[in-house]
Amino acid sequence: MTHERELSIGVDVGGTNTDAVVLDQDGTVLAATKQPTTADVVGGIRAGVARVLDEIDDRRHAVKRVMLGTTHATNAIVARRSLARVAVVRLGAPSGTEWPPLSDWPDDLSHHVLAGSAMLGGGHMLDGTPIMPLDRYGLLRFLDSIEGRFDAVAVTGVFSPSYPDQEREVDAIIRDHIGPDARIFLSQDIGPTGLIERENATVLNAALHRVAHDVTHALLAVVEEQGLDAVTFFAQNDGTLMSLDFAENFPVLTIGSGPANSIRGAAYLSGAQDAIVVDVGGTTSDLGVVVNGFPRESTLPREIGGVQTNFRMPDILSVGIGGGTIVDVASGRVGPGSVGYRIDREGLLFGGSIPTLTDAAALNSSPIPGRSLPTVDGRTRDALAASLAFVADRLEAAVEQLSLGRMDLPLVVVGGGGFLVPDELSIATEVIRPAHAGVANAVGAAISLAGGRAEHIADIEDREAAIEAASEAAIAKAIQAGADPLKVEVVEVLETPISYTTHPAVNVSVKAAGPLSRLGTTMPALP
């Protein structure tokens, strides 16, 4: 690859702003912008990409990759919009029938998504013994009973991540019965071992397949409009990337990619491989942890749109502190309300009448070039000054909670409201404010590796074989996501003992990652 083919664009879609950057082969930021996020998401992406391309002017032909982190899937779930109708198949009867599919979903979401469900004979015990033979005829009867009323099928088997054969057989039966182009999603590809949460994630993924198609092709349209000869990637929720085809098949993996991008970008811009990161926005501050350059992942189930899932998400702590957070002069209370995107007309610094934390920061020196705090009465000034002490205390407590008692980690500050963070905190070794901190999330998208994850359960005496099997599967998924086959490697191995088993057993989770393949094809033609 020549120097002229080594520019990358990173885009991150947030609730308020869509950030875009251009990076060269050395990771230097050549152009950056913030554009308002639009209701259809695509408008903000289009504006951001166009602006940074204008800044690099005659080097636009050198852009070879476009990476996107988007809230499109999350918004579709929360708004109950554009979701597909899903036929849900669970393999685990008779033991896995106590809690029917989607029982814990909000009624309105279940109504939008569920086309019908069947709990069929199948699934496995912990040691791989089948619970029951696969009920093939029951599967066919179920499909015929809801013919024409579903768009996709979600299949979940008990312990299928370790014993995947039954799910794969169901896939083959369905394609033979209703056609090779059937949209079928297997839980072994989506989430870890826990049955209900994995099933929930698989059904959400199936429900999002039309949304994924729309946003992936919208990105292709933007790239085509700009005349770019570039390969496109999407950010995953673990701080890695996936190819466009992979994203279209696994849209649920994009949920949570925003915080992951911020953490990856903060680590890259600061050079800190182990640190606490705080991303300060207009309404909240999101704190996370960098471990060996990647976001530390939460071990707790994650709720999305009222649905509990167990796929990997960054360990994020959100506190109600942002540039638009309202300071109530009468009570002295700080937040939780915020003027949000209206700060440019409602905050004191902009000629409005509502005191905010941005105004508090302006007591010392204005964080907004060309703006100064108007004269305020003594009571308002005292309330603003007290709010800064409150911010310091809240951030100190949040950093302590995430650090798990460690006192040797720096705090990396990113986001547009980073001026609210004090220059010193007793719980952090230092406070780092890297260049381009305001667009760290887009930088994180642009510099990420392609990744994959796999799990395997085995008796403790078969631990090494389980690690090897999970490693091979994780590497294969990373390559499928777009990693260079010659450079992908295992970056994390987690072993969790399993309780209440007749023999000691362990659950092995492996993450693999690698640089993006340079052999990727250029943008495919739009249909």
- Rounded Cα gap, residues 326 and 360, in angstroms: 10
The C-alpha angle 96, 98, 101, rounded to 5 degrees, equals 75
* pLDDT tens digits for range 277-305: 999 988 788 899 998 888 888 777 777 87
pLDDT at 325: 92
Instruction: Identify the band that residue 499 occupies on the pLDDT scale cut at 50, 70 and 90.
Output: low
- pLDDT at residue 306 greater than cutoff 60: yes
In 250-330, which ranges are continuous DSSP H helix? 257-270
User: Percent of the chain scored above 70 by pLDDT?
Assistant: 96
- pLDDT at residue 201 greater than cutoff 50: yes
- Which of the pair, 75 or 278, is modelled with greater confidence? 278
| Mean pLDDT for all residues in the chain | 88
DSSP SS3 for 390: helix
- pLDDT at residue 72 greater than cutoff 80: no
What is the arithmetic mean of pLDDT over 406-418? 90
* Helix 195-207 and helix 209-225, axial crossing angle in degrees, nearest 10: 50
Max CA-CA distance within the chain? 79
pLDDT at 32: 95
* pLDDT tens digits for range 25-55: 888 999 999 887 777 778 889 999 999 999 9
- pLDDT at residue 3 greater than cutoff 60: no
- Which of the pair, 500 or 444, is modelled with greater confidence? 444
DSSP state of 346: H
157-186 per-residue burial string, b: 16 or more CB within 10 A, e: under 16: bbbbbbbbebbebbbebbeeebeeebbbbb
SS3 for 46-97 is: HHHHHHHHHHHHHHHHHEEEEEEECCHHHHHHHHCCCCCCEEEEEEEECCCC
- pLDDT at residue 167 greater than cutoff 50: yes
- pLDDT at residue 233 greater than cutoff 50: yes
* pLDDT tens digits for range 89-106: 999 999 888 899 999 999
- Rounded Cα gap, residues 189 and 249, in angstroms: 10
Instruction: Identify the band that residue 518 occupies on the pLDDT scale cut at 50, 70 and 90.
Output: low
DSSP state of 356: B
The DSSP bridge partners found for residue 235 are: 241
- pLDDT at residue 498 greater than cutoff 80: no
